[in-house]
Amino acid sequence: MNISLVTAVAAYLLAAFPSTPPHPHHPKSIVIGGAAGKITVAYMTVPFNAEHLKGKEAGFEWHLGYAQLNTEVPLRIDEVDVPAGQYVLKARLGDAPGAWNFVLQDQKFSQQLQQARRRARNSDAARDAYEELQKKAKESELLLVAHDFKNEDDEHLTMVAINHGYNRESMRSMEPGGGVEFSLRVSFGDLHREVKIAEEFELGTVEASDKKKNEK
């Protein structure tokens, strides 16, 4: 085999099977155990690309690694009440550079919106229906104001929950006297934003049978 053919074969193999693997897109989940139920945040890691963020105007939305928030318990996020349910979690750019906030949208409603957007390509009536649904989506979404925190830059999307726990009824009791509190931190390149989340919990919401089980 001559040198030129060997070189050509080697170049083909390097192109077909690169030594550096592509960036992995891992589906991740964070689970927080509340006083009366669990809270789950799910997302997918995606690589950071600063070029993709240049020139974005206020109001621009990003899927945030196709993130979801599923909560079995009602939550209080900043000044926003979030009922128990399943939500799509997105990021939205605010007026100031890097001022990303988070947006919650009911998961079923979000799926309806996507289906309506696809149908909108087919007729004027479908486009009108989609625009009407968009208005309802804006009215029903929950805006979560986020704040900066200090951290090292991340080459891919990373979410971390810092669990602050919940208060107990007393020194001798393991029963919750209040809801769990935690911080959800999101890092993407040099962008680091967080929201503080608290479970809305009242004494008496845990079944009596569960209490007896814990006391044994």
| Model pLDDT for residues 164-199, shown as the tens digit of each residue | 999 988 889 889 999 999 999 999 998 999 999 999
Per the structure, how many domains does the chain have?
1
Integer angstrom CA distances of residue 117 from 63, 104, 109, 112, 128: 16, 19, 12, 9, 10
Q: Is the confidence at residue 211, as pLDDT, over 70?
A: no
Tokens of 70: 């599923």
Please tell me the distance from the alpha carbon of residue 128 to that of residue 188, in angstroms, as a whole number. Answer: 36
Selected residue with higher pLDDT from 178 and 97: 178
Residue 2 falls within a domain, yes or no? no
Provide the β-strand partners of residue 31.
40
Residue 143 falls within a domain, yes or no? yes
Owning domain of residue 172:
20-215
Selected residue with higher pLDDT from 39 and 120: 39
- Provide DSSP, 142-205: EEE--EE-----EEEEEEEEEE----BSSTT--SBSS--EEEEEEEEETEEEEEEEEE---TT-
DSSP code of 215? H
The whole-number average pLDDT for the span 5-23 is 48
The whole-number average pLDDT for the span 27-47 is 95
Give, in degrees to the nearest 5, the angle at Cα 123 between 118 and 127. 60
The rounded mean pLDDT for the chain is: 84
Selected residue with higher pLDDT from 180 and 51: 180
Residue 14 falls within a domain, yes or no? no
Please tell me the distance from the alpha carbon of residue 121 to that of residue 114, in angstroms, as a whole number. Answer: 12
The whole-number average pLDDT for the span 34-63 is 89
Other beta carbons within 10 angstroms of residue 46's beta carbon come to 17
User: Which H/E stretch holds residue 91?
Assistant: strand 85-93
Q: Residue 181: its pLDDT value, please?
A: 97
Q: Is the confidence at residue 53, as pLDDT, over 70?
A: yes
Q: Is the confidence at residue 75, as pLDDT, over 50?
A: yes
Residue 8 falls within a domain, yes or no? no
